[in-house]
Amino acid sequence: QVQLVESGGGKVQAGGSLRLSCAASGSTFNNYVLGWFRQAPRKEREFVAAISWTRGSYYGDSVNGRFTISRDNAKNTVYLQMNSLKPEDTAAYYCAASWGDYVIPSPTSFSSWGQGTQVLVSS
């Protein structure tokens, strides 16, 4: 099973940018779909983005056009570039991995999770 460690969270003003990173270890990186989810207080975990080795990237409606997910298989790392941030993007962001090549944008489809990194967007 793959182990995941996120980094890059922090506080930013509305309209700003942040880049999150997620380093993976313990298994063959190319065999996994890598994704990002987020969870705000008192809300359910929400799909943000995911990327497959061969089938491209997918985004949640609320971030499409503002966030970009990418992966560097040589570094076993997945990134989430977040631009035009809004206060409603404030949440804990989690990196997740799902074995295989199909993206199913649901938390239950991902078996490995990082510890999360906090993003705070001030207005």
Q: Output the pLDDT for position 83.
A: 98
Instruction: Name the strand (E) or helix (H) holding 34.
Output: strand 32-39
Q: Output the pLDDT for position 87.
A: 97
Q: Output the pLDDT for position 53.
A: 82
In order along its 123 residues, the chain shows pLDDT tens digits of: 899 999 999 999 999 999 999 999 987 778 899 999 999 999 999 999 999 988 899 999 999 999 999 999 899 999 999 999 999 999 999 999 999 988 899 999 999 999 999 999 999
Distance CA 31, CA 33 (A): 7
